[in-house]
Structure 1
């Protein structure tokens, strides 16, 4: 059955049964992925999935159900399943269905250009990128990954309180990784590009960058450094912020597992730090006019000039604190329950070039990656001790690569110890963006072994 007809039937049946409150949530996804290796297609997938969830209030308790099928009999199944689940729920937290009259700000989520890309065009792009990368230097031993992905998704939220919302979004993503060797050591690196138009993707520009990054790791210097200053590269800092993001969610604060509890309107970072969540960002990867509960999204400065201004809320956590939702409710899929997430989260650009950051550092480390964030970072205390990669900065200039480095510190102290912010804002593949930053106070050890 067509999804729109099914939703209407489900909605009407719920009304006929006089269910107190109810909501229909539909989500679909399409994903086309192509990967090549050594001039041949290594893998190709073209997947489509969709599902629908129903939640309704029965005798004051909210019950949930879901289905991937859209047959006539699934209408009654969803309602009966939700009713049965409501009868056995012991959780006393109030579940809220949103119904306020609101204005929704329009934002760009969909690019028709991506719908017009042909598979043959993607193949040609990837073959050219692989061939081009291999031609750049004889020290290139392998192109490990050369892939292109196009994703598309649709959401529908309709409830008994008058909410009837729909949106559709898409994106494209390409990644390339290489291995290089000088005969004594092997190094790898990768780069990626996310875009809304096929013209956004320049295989030569991407290829030049990833090869330059990988080859630069072959020229290694062994040096012992005691300087606690360092520059952290944009996407490297983004990965650290992403691992600590849950501490800004109201749910974590309310459960007492976030050190930000009781810190609203307190200074928690250097005054040059402004952390923004923007669902309306131009060419944003995660734009949206409404969240998973139908609440309008909003631009918000979570940290403004070093001061913590807000937590991120959904309806349930907002009610507990007696505030309005910030429009950050999320669902991991049609089967998921309501949680919290951000949209385009980023640290606001500064005005210093990367070269200027190096000059101010003088001598020290340019940290270009963290490893082991899942094990070397305590996401509650913020303490971390991480292996990483980086380069020696000598006399304010980028010098040679360093052997493995270890960086230890505390995330919350790091926010306070950001001395200067660069102007090279870049988003990582998870939709978190940062510029590079000059930081003090970290404990950095370099491997001086040959």
Structure 2
């Protein structure tokens, strides 16, 4: 049977069994990927999955179950399995079914034009992007990756307390990586674009940026530095923020694995720094009107002018702290348990351009990329020692590329040492973003 009929059937059977509280959660997803190589389709995939989870409260214990098939027998199985699972749960943590109170903000998460995007049009776009990169400069020898990806999802939450919510979303991206060679030395560069309107994707602009990044790394130099004032470019600082973002989770705070514990209302960053989680950001990939528990999402400043204002909460962690949920419950699929995550997490734009930041530093280092974030950054202590790429800043302008360097520091100290924030915010593929920033000092060793 179709999903809607099945959901109604499960709901009816759960009501008939007088289950104390229950929730039905449906999620479907489609992921399409197309790669080209040497002007031909190299690979194509179109994966689909869907399923329904059920959670119900039996004798004050919450049991979970899920299914990928929708028959009457599956409806009976869901309820029986959840009851059996509840009987063996040992945790005393209270699980909460949301009561549906609150105002839901309507946000745009879907563009029907992506549904009608023909494969031939995508193929043509990728081939043109590959050609443009190779024609940009004779030193561009290879396009390593040239890919289009698109994801589509639908979500339904219905529970015994009156919640009945539905949404759907989609997003597309293109990514290109190139290799350039000069005098036997090879350098790489990459670029991407994310959005819901494919007409806004410009293959020339994307390919040219990737090629420029690779070529700009030639004729690199070494400088003898131990400590320097620096600019961290937008996507590089975004990668730092993305890797440390778990510190804002109330669950991490309550478990004692976030150094932000007990610091609400305290100054933890420069006055220049405000960190936002905005589920209602226009044309954003992380937009949502409700979270994975059906709670309305909210705009919130986690850090406001350097002061820590809130953590990110779901219903369980909010009850522990005696506060309202911030609407940040998350699930890693219909099988997943409820966790916490941000929607669009970003450092708020400042007023100065990237060029003005370089001018302010005058003499220093520009960091354009970090590597090894998963192994070189401790997400609890904030300590990091990372390989990085970048350029010398001379006379207030971007100079020659630097040989690979190692950058060491502590993320919490970096937040305090931000002197200026640019106006060039850019988001990663995972809806985390930042402008470029000036850091008072970082410690370097250059190969």
Same fold (TM over 0.5): yes
Q: 2 CA distance for matches of 1:304 and 1:219?
A: 42
Q: Separation in 2 of the partners of 1:40 and 1:124?
A: 10
Residue 388 of structure 1: aligned partner = 388
Match of 1:137 in 2: 137
Pair 1:334 & 2:339 matched = no
Q: C-alpha offsets along residues 302-329 of structure 1, whole Å, 9 cap, x if unaligned? A: 0001000000000000000000000000
The answer to whether the Cα contact below 8 Å between 1:426 and 1:433 also exists between their aligned partners in 2 is yes
- For 1:7-61, what per-residue CA distance to the aligned partner results, in whole angstroms no more than 9, with x for missing partners? 0000000001111100000000011110011111111011111010000011111
Between the aligned partners of 1:47 and 1:300, the Cα distance in structure 2 is 35
Match of 1:417 in 2: 417
Provide the residue aligned with 1:181 in structure 2.
Answer: 181
After the TM superposition, list the runs of 4 or more consecutive aligned residues in structure 1 that deviate by more than 3 angstroms.
Answer: none
Q: What residue is the counterpart of 2:273 in the other structure?
A: 273
Q: Deviations over 1:163-212 (max 9, x none)?
A: 00000000010000000010221111111000110111000011111111
Pairs within 5 Å for 1:148-297: 148-297=148-297
Where does residue 83 of structure 1 map in the other structure?
83
The answer to whether the 8 Å contact 1:227/1:363 transfers is no
Residue correspondences, number: 447
- Post-superposition Cα deviations, 1:188-244, rounded to whole Å, max 9, x if no partner, equal 111100011011100001111111111001121222234421100101111111111
Whether the aligned pair in 2 keeps the contact of 1:225 and 1:364 (CA below 8 Å) is no
Measured in 2, the distance between the counterparts of 1:69 and 1:25 equals 14
- TM-score, length-normalised on structure 2? 0.99
Residue 227 of structure 1 contacts residue 364 of structure 1 at CA under 8 Å; is this kept in 2?
A: no
Corresponding residue for residue 17 of structure 2? 17
Aligned equivalents of 1:311 and 1:225: distance in 2? Answer: 38
Distance 2:364 2:252 in 1: 36
Specify every segment of 5 or more residues in structure 2 that has no aligned partner in the other structure, as ranges: none
Does structure 2 retain, via aligned residues, the 8 Å contact 1:315–1:324? yes
Matches for 1:344-359 after TM superposition, within 5 Å: 344-359=344-359
Instruction: Name the SS for the 1:281 alignment partner.
Output: coil
- Could you tell me which runs of 5 or more consecutive residues in structure 1 were left unpaired when the two chains were aligned: none
Q: For the residues of structure 2 that align with 1:221 and 1:271, how far apart are their CA atoms? A: 35
| Deviation, structure 1 residue 441 | 2.7
Task: Identify the range of structure 1 (286-295 vs 99-108) with the bigger mean alpha-carbon deviation.
Answer: 99-108
Map residues 18-167 of structure 1 onto 2, 5 A cutoff: 18-167=18-167
Residue 240 of structure 1 aligns to a residue whose secondary structure is helix
8 Å Cα contact 2:100-2:294 kept in structure 1: no
Aligned-CA RMSD value: 0.8
Q: Distance in 2 between matches of 1:242 and 1:128?
A: 32
Deviation, 1:410, is 0.4
